[in-house]
Amino acid sequence: MSKKYIVRCKSVNQNMNGEFVFNNSNFEAPNLLPGEKASVELLYGKDKGKAVVHEIIEPSAERINPECQAYGSCGGCCILHTNYDNQLKLKTDTARKYLERYGEVRDCIGLEERRFNYRNKIIATLSLDKKGRVISGLYEETTHRVVPITRCRLENEHAAEVMATIREFMDKGRIKPYNEDNRKGTLRHVLFRVSAEGETLVVLVSGNKIFPEKNKLAKIIAEKHDFVAGVVLNYNTKKTSFVLGDNEEVLFGNGYITDRMCGMEFRISPRSFYQVNTPVAEKIYTDAIMRAKIQPEDTVLDAYCGIGTIALTAAKLTNAKEILGVELNQAAVRDAKENVKRLGMKNISFICDDAGDYLNAAIGADIHYNCIIMDPPRRGASESFIKAVLRMNPEKIIYISCNPESLARDLRALTIKKYNVDYIQPYDMFAGTAHVETVCLLTRKAQ
């Protein structure tokens, strides 16, 4: 047994791990809150600087019992051991740590009633337990071992119902999950997309080109669950950590779902990006667009636009002269164009390109946008995009970010000479996890 030490937690870091100092060194441990006294075990080697809580000796008044049995082993959630108000406070603190130097960071906004079962995109990975029964769940945080989860607190409940059917079918029909090491078996993952009304798309991901039971399984899923609008088979035979492969075939119904957001219907394909928490995303989009105070003479660029949700919301809520969305993923652009057609909107178009390349080309062609809305992936915007924004010099920029660290890096480049940050608002889009979404408004400095 390793030695235990008594420590006092002073703060949490961006991973929501508790931080403490011991023998003049900094340590972090999951499941530890500011102010708590705990006995901990220190880790060494590659885990140097990390610790494991053995016992909480003086619990924080903010501590609660996590409402999930897999908490701690699955790695999906990391702040269920504290009440929701405190979860929001800890997220505000994280956002402040990275962003305070650019302006006042407002308190993180969350929807308490949506802190559970909000995920509209669910990925279940399949494996076998020791007795050879099919299990489904999430990978353990740092390995490829599947932690079985029959009911995840964050996911829409429809996924768990269908997964039970799939596991039963596999056990009865002796269908084996795909094994990444020996490349045998078939079903690898199941991806779900669920609309606000519960309409569900089930994407079966096969690691093998041959899946003889595919139609039988699709039929059983559709017959048993009337909320299923489509079953798609996706082939992913490569050794990869990506969930979806390039080829797919529709086995039942549609190959996409439609969801209502900001009063509009959106078509979403398996591969298109769509925010996982629709009601919070609605709040974020509306807030971002209102803050931009878009005028009739404005030309707006929605960069990293996905299926066009922000561009279309801007078209609906404002009378902008022109809106263009740019996005790299072809399937998402196809969805975006389809969405415009169905909604019959004018003055709005989409282009499939790298956001930086497009903006440089636009500058070369003397095209100007006076409002840029940007919503890049976790790594933030590319250097070429930021440089092009500075060259184009729009009056206002709305930056929507899911990572305060890359946001801070990009704000630094944008604020050196040209922009002020007038508004910084964090949102709890991913309740239960350490992630924070932030909306910023930047306006051009007087020259």
Which residue of the set 9, 108, 402, 440 is catalytic?
402
Count how many Cα atoms sit within 13 Å of the Cα of residue 230 in the half-sphere of its side chain.
Answer: 23
Between 127 and 277, whose beta carbon lies closer to ligand SAH?
A: 277
Type and span of the H or E element at 282: helix 278-291
CB of 305 to ligand SAH, least distance (A): 5
Q: Given the complex with ligand SAH, which of 357 and 422 has the nearer CB atom?
A: 357
Under rule CB under 6 A, residue 288 binds ligand SAH: no
Burial class (CB in 10 A: 0-12, 13-18, 19+), 62: middle
Contact characters 377-416, ligand SAH, x per CB under 6 A: x----x----------------------------------
Other residues' Cβ atoms within 10 Å of the Cβ of residue 406: 17
Identity of the residue, 251 or 310, whose beta carbon is nearer to ligand SAH in the bound complex: 310
Q: Find out whether 303 and 372 touch, Cβ atoms under 8 Å.
A: yes
User: CA torsion sign, 272 to 14 to 126 to 188?
Assistant: positive
Residue 99 CB, shortest distance to ligand SAH, in Å, is: 19
Rounded to a whole number of angstroms, the minimum distance from the CB of residue 378 to ligand SAH is 9
User: Torsions phi, psi of 45, nearest 5?
Assistant: 65, -130
∠ Cα 339 340 342 (to 5°): 65
Contacts (CB under 6 A) with ligand SAH, residues 174-213 = none
Which of these ranges, 128-136, 141-149, 270-278, 334-342, lies near ligand SAH under the rule CB under 6 A?
270-278
Q: Minimal CA–CA distance to 291: which of 408, 399, 378, 164?
A: 399
Euclidean distance between the first and the last CA atom of the chain, given in angstroms as a whole number: 66
Q: How far is the CB of 142 from ligand SAH (least distance, A)?
A: 25
| Amino acid making up residue 172 | K
Closest CB 40 distance from ligand SAH, rounded Å: 38
Alpha-carbon torsion 18, 20, 22, 26, what sign? positive
Between 80 and 381, CB nearer to ligand SAH: 381
* Window contacting ligand SAH (CB under 6 A); options: 29-37, 146-154, 303-311, 412-420: 303-311
Report the residue from 328, 345, 351, 390 that binds ligand SAH according to the rule CB under 6 A. 328
Which of 160, 166, 310, 436 is close enough to bind ligand SAH by CB under 6 A? Answer: 310
Q: Does 76 bind ligand SAH (CB under 6 A)?
A: no
Stretch that binds ligand SAH, among 26-34, 150-158, 302-310, 388-396 (CB under 6 A): 302-310
Q: How many whole angstroms separate alpha carbon 74 and alpha carbon 141? A: 7
Of 256, 266, 273, 430, the one binding ligand SAH by CB under 6 A:
273
Which residues pair with residue 135 across a beta bridge? 127
Q: Is 402 a catalytic residue?
A: yes
Per CB under 6 A, the list member of 206, 236, 275, 401 interacting with ligand SAH is 275
For residue 354, how many C-alpha atoms fall within 13 Å in the half-sphere facing its CB? 11
Locate 152 and state its tokens: 């995840």
Question: In the complex, what is the shortest distance from the CB of residue 371 to ligand SAH, in angstroms, rounded to a whole number?
Answer: 15
The stretch among 141-149, 203-211, 300-308, 390-398 that binds ligand SAH (CB under 6 A) is: 300-308
Question: Does 375 participate in binding ligand SAH (rule CB under 6 A)?
Answer: yes
Considering only 12, 175, 332, 408, the residue that binds ligand SAH (CB under 6 A) is 332
Work out whether 327 is an interface residue with ligand SAH (CB under 6 A): yes
Answer yes or no whether residue 173 interacts with ligand SAH by CB under 6 A. Answer: no
As a whole number of angstroms, the distance between CA 298 and CA 372 comes to: 10
Own/partner pairs, 325-329, CB within 8 angstroms, 24+ separation: 325/301, 325/349, 325/350, 325/351, 326/301, 326/302, 326/350, 326/351, 326/352, 326/353, 326/355, 326/358, 326/359, 327/351, 327/352, 327/353, 327/355, 328/352, 328/353, 328/354, 328/355, 329/271, 329/272, 329/273
Q: Rounded to the nearest whole angstrom, what is the least distance from the CB of residue 267 to ligand SAH in the complex? A: 13
Closest distance of CB 242 from ligand SAH, Å: 13
In the complex, the residues that contact ligand SAH under the rule CB under 6 A are: 273-275, 304-306, 309-310, 326-329, 332, 354-355, 375-377, 382
Instruction: Just list the catalytic residues.
Output: 402
